[in-house]
A and B are shown apart, each in its own frame.
Chain A
Amino acid sequence: MMGLAKVFGILLVLVILAALLTWVERRLLGLWQDRYGPNRVGPAGLLQVVADMIKILFKEDWVPPFSDRLGFILAPAIVMASLLVAFAAIPITPDIDIWPMNGIGLLFILAMISLSVYSTVLGGWASNNKYSLVGALRAVAQMLSYEVFLGLSLLGVVLQAQSFDLRQIVAAQAGLWFVVPQFLGFVVFMTAGIAAIHRLPFDLPEAESELTAGFHTEYSSMKFGIFFIGEYVGIVLVSAMLATLFFGGWLGPVLPPLLWFLTKTGAFIAFFILLRAALPRPRYDQLMAFGWKLLLPLALLNLMVTAAILLAT
């Protein structure tokens, strides 16, 4: 019973949080671009989320006749499901998490992030539309290559904590947060994480200015809404992972663990939005070159140096 309450509690909070993030993002972007953002509906524009929800629910839910129906409908479900399920393994505080996964939580999350690429590919492929297809192709190449360093950059952390269990990883950071000894790993993981959830500046699968909306060009109504919320769940997920793996998760003085976790995650979310406000989108070949020629060697170097130091001591 307690477990069920936790599952639905975390699920509900997460989805509501992801919806609220649309408002947070627009307000923060406004702040950084010297304007207001939505501030009319409700106090400080907070009800904008509700208004958008109502609007999106009443739009026509159109499945294009030229599309592949099954894949088209399945795609948004996959991204939402895989990213939400990944949250099951994240320890929010010592006693709030859904399922510690018997010590393989990290692998599970990585696997789920990998699964979410299917939604992009299916969505782009099933839409039967040139823009979508180009978006999906980009998504495949981008995710496949960035997944490599997404995993590699975390191996340093795993080596130092001697475990794939997220709780033990957090516990191992009691003395020193891993961001200090694993700084390279942190940078690589953050970059790869942004690319894996195709957030700006690595949003090449969507790339409004070139591909209209990339893989979800054909989507409307709540299906589009699910893609949208899925993206925000992805942001929360990567922020939570960054906080857990490199910034000591719930550890911190004075304040209760839950608050520490939320603060750290929130800071990363805000940082991602800042990145969106500040950085332009790279060209596609730049993205690939950046990944394979810079991030991969960095991740390998980080791994080898960590391993060497651990062996020597």
Chain B
Amino acid sequence: MYSLLRTIWLIFLHLFHRRVTVEYPERKAYLAPRWRGRIILSRDPDGEERCVACYLCAVACPVDCIFLQKGELVGGRWYPQQFRINFSRCIFCGYCEEACPTYAIQLTPDFEMSEYDRHNLVYEKEDLLISGVGKYPGYSFYRVAGLAIPGKDKGQAENEEPPFDPKRLLP
């Protein structure tokens, strides 16, 4: 009985407490830089698309909301011809970002993307692709990868040794 009365009294005292509500549209809450929100596709420091259309993000996605189609440039660079994310399905788990070997796909601290029509939540490549580098300023996949592309041959990548010549006898 005493505990009941005490509860009532304590709750009554809340009359004089500060409210914890953040009145959202007028005052915005702080979002951490690593907040998992709207997804973007970034470019490398040279301004080329980072995505190499490896499909890893589409495979990693637990709700299968990423659709993409591989295309190939002259010289052997891959790129996504189409890249579509259905945000009405996305659960913002960040697995795509984890899976991506090129830091192309990134989640950003933005969640204000509500729509009246579901179809407007399907973002195409031109909606996703940004002109900057996102969270990883200096990184360029082709500069560290062994693949030969125009302007960079085998063995010319950072930290890469010259290719091994199998016809040589020396070890």
Contacts and interface: CB of A to CB of B under 8 A. Distances in A.
A32 B8 contact: no
B21 interface: yes
B8 A34 contact: no
B8 A275 contact: yes
Interface string A7-34: 0000000000000000000000011111
A184 interface: no
A274 interface: yes
Interface in A251-297: 274-275, 277-279
A32 B12 CA distance: 7
A274 B8 contact: yes
Given A274-B8, A279-B4, A32 B20 contact: no
A279 B7 contact: yes
A278 B12 CA distance: 8
B11 A35 contact: no
B7 A36 contact: no
Nearest to B9: A278
Contact of A34 (B10, B12, B18): B18
Interface residues of A, number: 12
Contacts of A34: 14, 17-21
Contacts of B4: 279
B15 interface: yes
Contact of A35 (B8, B10, B19): B19
Interface in A31-47: 31-36
A28 B17 CA distance: 13
A279 to B, nearest CB: 7
Interface residues of B, number: 14
Contacts of B126: none
A274 B20 contact: no
Contacts of B23: 36
Contacts of A32: 11-12, 14-15
A31 B7 contact: no
Contacts of B15: 31-32
Interface in B1-47: 4, 7-8, 10-12, 14-15, 17-21, 23
B11 A274 contact: yes
A277 B11 contact: yes
A275 B4 CA distance: 10
B31 to A, nearest CB: 21
A35 B21 CA distance: 5
B12 A35 contact: no
B8 A279 contact: yes
22 contacts: A30-B19, A31-B14, A31-B15, A32-B12, A32-B15, A33-B14, A34-B14, A34-B17, A34-B18, A34-B19, A35-B19, A35-B21, A36-B19, A36-B21, A36-B23, A275-B8, A277-B11, A278-B7, A278-B11, A279-B4, A279-B7, A279-B8
Interface of A: 30-36, 274-275, 277-279
Given A32-B15, A279-B4, 6 more contacts: A30-B19, A31-B15, A32-B11, A34-B17, A34-B20, A279-B7
Report the 9 A-B pairs with minimum CB-CB distance, sorted nearest first: A278-B11, A278-B8, A35-B21, A32-B14, A278-B7, A34-B20, A34-B19, A36-B21, A277-B11
